[in-house]
């Protein structure tokens, strides 16, 4: 029987050529397994690309997301997710005002509905306000209409509370799929990822550790991810982040950094 089909070759028919050589006859053992493995490798590559687009917050695969500013200058951008949340957002605003530092707040719609006065104060103090979905849903398994609803309802809640149109969006956990970019585009949003986070939402991480982690990770153009709220618990305790903030600002300035408004990265 000819051995060009899908039957494995006879064991005696492996590689011809000199001992230790790599040449194998077509239809030989190595070719047979290569033909079997190539489609598997292609599938794994496709899954890998999909995972990259979904879970990597700055991946361009499912639409551009800005994850860092210019690396040429010692500038950095503070961003706070998952608020508004009176217990943390208010003291954070006080620290930002005392140090004259701008920041961006990516807000959860349901929390804006609950604490509209806090959202209004963020806007009144001149900080950037971004959309972070209605209920902090992980978007990667949702279809286009659900994603649009998450973004558009939140947009309305923010406009109602602050009289300001949000101009930016950040996906919860950074998880996206191909339907996120069109929903963001409908609202003329710039989509943001981040350069680094410091796991400040972990209750085992204290304020001094949050401060030290930011100091160690800070680099030119960094978009720093912090949390003034909890995506699911509207009164989640983020006082440790609030307590860390003054030290974060002092350390960064001592290292020659300037905090800039995130809006300057928008096209």
State in angstroms the smallest separation of the CB of 82 from Zn ion.
4
Q: Judged by CB under 5 A, does residue 82 bind Zn ion?
A: yes
In angstroms, give the least distance from the CB of 70 to Zn ion.
25
Pick the piece of the chain touching Zn ion (CB under 5 A) from 35-43, 90-98, 166-174, 208-216. 166-174
Of 64-72, 81-89, 174-182, 250-258, the window that binds Zn ion (rule: CB under 5 A) is 81-89
Other beta carbons within 10 Å of 230: 20
* 56/251 with CB nearer Zn ion: 56
Q: What residues pair up with 66 in beta bridges, in sequence order?
A: 192
How near is the Cβ of 57 to Zn ion at its closest, in Å?
11
Select 213 or 227, whichever has its Cβ closest to Zn ion: 227
Among 231, 244, 249, 257, binds Zn ion (CB under 5 A): 231
Decide whether 82 or 128 has the Cβ nearer to Zn ion: 82
> Which candidate, 169, 257, 176, places its Cα nearest to that of 215?
257
Residue (of 69, 57, 108, 94) closest to 261 by Cα position = 69
Using the Cα atoms of residue 241, residue 242, residue 243 and residue 245 in order, give the sign of their dihedral: positive
Q: Do residues 229 and 238 lie in contact, with contact meaning Cβ atoms separated by under 8 Å?
A: yes
CA proximity to 151, closest of 195, 163, 159, 128: 159
- Annotated catalytic residue within 81, 200, 228, 230: 81
Q: What is the CB-side half-sphere exposure of residue 41 using CA atoms within 13 A?
A: 6
Q: Please say which residue, 67 or 231, places its beta carbon nearer to Zn ion.
A: 231
State in angstroms the smallest separation of the CB of 230 from Zn ion. Answer: 9
Q: Which of 127, 227, 228, 230 does the annotation list as catalytic? A: 227
Segment near Zn ion (CB under 5 A), from 4-12, 78-86, 121-129, 193-201? 78-86
| Distance in Å, CB of 14 to Zn ion, minimum | 55
Q: How far apart (Å, rounded) are the C-alpha atoms in residues 129 and 162?
A: 9
Question: Does the annotation mark 81 as catalytic?
Answer: yes
With CA atoms as reference, report the closest residue to 231 among 89, 106, 83, 55.
83
Closest CA to 8 of 28, 34, 37: 28
Which one, 133 or 190, has the nearer CB to Zn ion?
133
Report if residue 130 touches Zn ion, rule: CB under 5 A: no
- Nearest approach, Cβ of residue 214 and Zn ion (Å): 18
Phi, psi of 119 (to 5 degrees): -60, -40
Nearest residue to Zn ion, scored by beta-carbon proximity: 81
| Binding of residue 81 to Zn ion (CB under 5 A) | yes
User: Do 176 and 54 touch, CB atoms closer than 8 A?
Assistant: yes
Residues 168-227 close enough to bind Zn ion by CB under 5 A: 172
- What are the φ/ψ torsions at residue 27 (nearest 5 degrees)? 85, 0
Distance CA 91, CA 99 (A): 12
Q: Which residues are catalytic?
A: 81, 227
Per CB under 5 A, residues contacting Zn ion are 81-82, 172, 231
């Amino acid at each position: 029987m000819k051995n060009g089909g899908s039957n494995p070759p006879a064991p005696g028919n492996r590689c011809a050529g000199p001992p230790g050589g790599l040449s194998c006859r077509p239809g030989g053992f190595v070719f047979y397994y290569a033909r079997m493995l190539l489609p598997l490798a292609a599938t794994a590559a496709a899954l890998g690309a999909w995972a990259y687009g979904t879970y990597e917050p700055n991946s361009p695969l499912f639409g551009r997301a800005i994850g860092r500013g210019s690396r040429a200058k010692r500038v950095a951008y503070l961003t706070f997710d998952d608020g508004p949340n009176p217990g943390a957002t208010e003291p954070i605003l006080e620290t930002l005002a005392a140090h004259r530092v701008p920041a961006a707040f990516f807000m959860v719609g349901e929390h804006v509905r609950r604490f509209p006065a806090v959202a209004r104060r963020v806007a009144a103090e001149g900080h950037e306000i971004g959309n972070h979905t209605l209920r902090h849903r992980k978007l990667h398994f949702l279809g286009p209409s659900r994603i649009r609803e998450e973004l558009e309802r939140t947009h309305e809640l923010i406009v109602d509370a602050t009289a300001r149109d949000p101009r930016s969006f950040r996906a919860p956990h950074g998880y996206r799929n191909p339907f996120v970019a069109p929903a963001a585009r409908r609202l003329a949003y710039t989509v943001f990822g981040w350069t680094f986070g410091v796991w400040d939402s972990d209750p085992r991480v204290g304020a001094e550790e949050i401060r030290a982690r930011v100091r160690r990770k800070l680099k030119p153009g960094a978009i720093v991810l912090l949390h003034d709220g909890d995506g699911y618990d509207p009164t989640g305790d983020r006082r440790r982040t609030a307590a860390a903030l003054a030290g974060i600002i002092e350390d960064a300035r001592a290292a020659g950094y300037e905090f800039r408004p995130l809006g300057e990265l928008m096209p």
